Amino acid sequence: MKSNFPSVSRPDSLIKSVNLFPVVGIGASAGGLEAFKRLLKSIPEQSGMAFVLVQHLAPNHESLLPDILQKVTTIPVLEITNDIKVEPDHIYVIPSNKMMIASDGVLLLAPRLASKKYERNLPIDIFFTSLAEVHQSHAIGVVLSGTATDGTMGLKAIKDHGGITIAQDEASAAYEGMPNSAIQAGVVDFILPPEKIPEKLIELIKIFNNANYEDNSTPLEDDEVFRQIISVLRLRKGTDFTYYKQTTIRRRILRRMAINKNDEPLKYLRYLKENKQEQDLLYQDLLIPVTSFFRDRKSFDNLSENVLPLLIKNKAANEPIRIWVAGCSTGEEAYSFAISIKELLGNDPSSETEEKVQIFATDLSEPAIITARLGIYKKLDLAGISAKRLNDYFTKTNDSYQINRPLRDMCVFANHNFLKDPPFGKIDLISCRNVLIYLEPYLQKKALTTFHYALNPKGFLLLGKSETTGGVSNLFTLATKNEKLYIRKDVSSRFIQVQSQRKESSSTPGKDKPKS
């Protein structure tokens, strides 16, 4: 997931960290100093975690934070210098007049943006987003006292990547704006006073460490329990996660275990069987809903400048452009395509734009599809939307914005599983980004074969930055050297149903084995 925030000279592709210790990002603004002190005083000297503090500071204000905070803790407090390596049992502080990102265990600094266009800097969101991308499920985000909304989008990124999120409670915050913004956005796992946060972190890390499945050496009895957890979800939702990457699936299960204070998989299984709400929450966590408007601006610019005009040019007057967004989550990408095509077609009096374009957007998540159909988004969800596009294509409704009816009419949202449901046909462009990386190679190959079957001759396939068509190189050829955009090769293929349509009522939890 690329950040929608202003560029801070970040690398084109942040490197995922090989570090397996937790990295805790802590953001604060007004009233943050006192909150920092209360939190740091409660951190044990050997917690096994690294802490990175980000505070709003005036550009010309020299930070005295490292010296002030070192007086309340015996843990080393360091002001960040460029390319400083993150180590556990250390506290790092961002210097004044700097922006910061994380990349493979290293903290990178860039000058704070001086442009009036970006006068309202979002240093916490920028850092948290990179922390999520690099440290994935080992990232933890904490938002303390402050005004406005910085930190909310960053916590969303951390949660979407499987990390843990915490906000300071209203009663203890000098300024509740920042933590309340995150809480209202539904991206917070725990709400606590600062001095209680380290205790909660240690409790969570203990659960993760006691069930460390990074090396795939799971005890046999726990293997059986995890299969039963997956079976419970299959019975309730009809989705089989057996063929998804098991390290990712199990980290997500461990996240729900930690949130519910279940320190053993068997205890969590018993709780899960009795709690349908928890089944739904776990299911949503496993779907990994990472999306945003115009995600990865470079890719969308390439589509708007080269691909979409070509599709428009090659279509007969009565023939619609057909696009399929597979794994659309809450609809932002589908609407981004709709906006891009609307801008290319302009105001054509001879035909309504929605009659010329059919965008099929599908996802496993029913709540996500409901949100997508409504097309209503909070201002924070619109970080990738310019002021002009917001004015042209959205209507303000209370404290949210709804995408206008003509664009909604261009999109058909459906609950759909491309691994087992029949695909759409005669498609000109398929976008399936950052979905395949969560599937085992066997499923990746089957999904790509399905997409090839669904595409028109010379149709386009857009994948995520970490995804390739390597498993089926005979079906696609790279269209653009530096982009994950592919063209369908003119060879035969067919839709192969991957998952069985067996009656789930006859399935016994714990008895299902992966197919060879």
| pLDDT tens-place values along the chain, 516 residues long | 333 333 333 444 455 656 678 889 999 999 999 999 999 999 999 999 999 999 886 655 556 888 899 999 999 999 888 778 888 999 999 887 677 777 666 777 776 654 433 335 688 998 898 888 888 888 899 999 999 889 998 999 898 888 999 999 999 999 999 999 999 988 999 999 999 999 999 988 887 776 555 545 555 677 889 999 999 998 988 888 887 888 888 888 988 998 888 888 899 999 999 999 999 999 988 887 778 899 888 888 899 999 999 999 988 878 899 999 999 999 999 999 999 999 998 855 444 566 689 999 999 888 899 999 999 998 878 877 999 999 999 999 888 999 999 999 999 999 999 988 989 999 999 999 988 888 888 889 999 999 999 999 999 999 988 888 988 889 999 998 778 999 999 987 665 555 443 333 333 333 333 333
Largest CA distance in the chain: 73
What is residue 135's predicted lDDT score, i.e. its pLDDT?
A: 82
What is residue 97's predicted lDDT score, i.e. its pLDDT?
A: 66
Tally of residues, the chain: 516
Cα 223–chain centre separation: 27
* Angle at alpha carbon of residue 1, lines to 152 and 310, rounded to 5°: 130
125 in Cβ contact with 152 (< 8 Å): yes
Q: Model's pTM, two decimal places?
A: 0.77
Angle of helix 152-160 versus helix 123-135 axis, rounded to 10: 10
CA end-to-end span of the chain, whole Å? 32
Q: State the DSSP string of 147-197.
A: SSSTTHHHHHHHHHTT-EEEEE-GGG-SS-HHHHHHHHTT--SEEE-GGGH
299 in Cβ contact with 393 (< 8 Å): no
Cα 298–chain centre separation: 18
Name, in order, each residue with C-beta under 8 angstroms of 78's C-beta and a sequence gap of 6 or more. 66, 84, 90, 91, 92, 93
Name, in order, each residue with C-beta under 8 angstroms of 249's C-beta and a sequence gap of 6 or more. 226, 230, 241, 286
Other CB atoms within 10 A of residue 270 CB: 13
Give the integer Cα–Cα distance in Å for 257 and 271: 10
Which of 97, 76, 99 is CA-nearest to residue 88?
76
Sign of CA dihedral 322, 323, 328, 332: negative
Give the integer Cα–Cα distance in Å for 315 and 325: 20
Name, in order, each residue with C-beta under 8 angstroms of 359's C-beta and a sequence gap of 6 or more. 323, 324, 325, 334, 337, 338, 410, 411, 412
Which of 117, 100, 119 is CA-nearest to residue 109?
100
Q: What are phi and psi of 293, to 5 degrees?
A: -65, 135
Q: State the DSSP string of 416-432.
A: --TTTSPPP-SEEEEEE
- C-alpha pair distances (Å), 133 with each of 16, 82, 103, 120, 295: 7, 19, 9, 23, 14
3-state secondary structure 218-269: CCHHHHHHHHHHHHHHHHHHCCCHHHECHHHHHHHHHHHHHHCCCCCHHHHH
Scored b (16 or more CB within 10 A) or e, 59-72 reads eeeebebbeebbee
Angle of helix 197-210 versus helix 246-259 axis, rounded to 10: 140
Which of 435, 446, 303, 252 is CA-nearest to residue 361?
435
What is residue 396's predicted lDDT score, i.e. its pLDDT?
A: 94
What is residue 390's predicted lDDT score, i.e. its pLDDT?
A: 94
204 in Cβ contact with 192 (< 8 Å): no
What is residue 362's predicted lDDT score, i.e. its pLDDT?
A: 96
Name, in order, each residue with C-beta under 8 angstroms of 164's C-beta and a sequence gap of 6 or more. 139, 140, 141, 158, 189, 190, 201, 204, 255, 258, 259
Contacts 24+ apart (CB under 8 A), 392-401: 393/339, 393/342, 400/376, 401/376, 401/377
What is residue 83's predicted lDDT score, i.e. its pLDDT?
A: 74
What is residue 114's predicted lDDT score, i.e. its pLDDT?
A: 46
Which of 280, 421, 318, 403 is CA-nearest to residue 362?
421
What is residue 12's predicted lDDT score, i.e. its pLDDT?
A: 43
Tokens 């609307």 — which residue?
Answer: 342
What is residue 219's predicted lDDT score, i.e. its pLDDT?
A: 59
What is residue 369's predicted lDDT score, i.e. its pLDDT?
A: 94
Give the integer Cα–Cα distance in Å for 485 and 304: 13
β-partners of residue 323 are 359, 429
What is residue 55's predicted lDDT score, i.e. its pLDDT?
A: 87
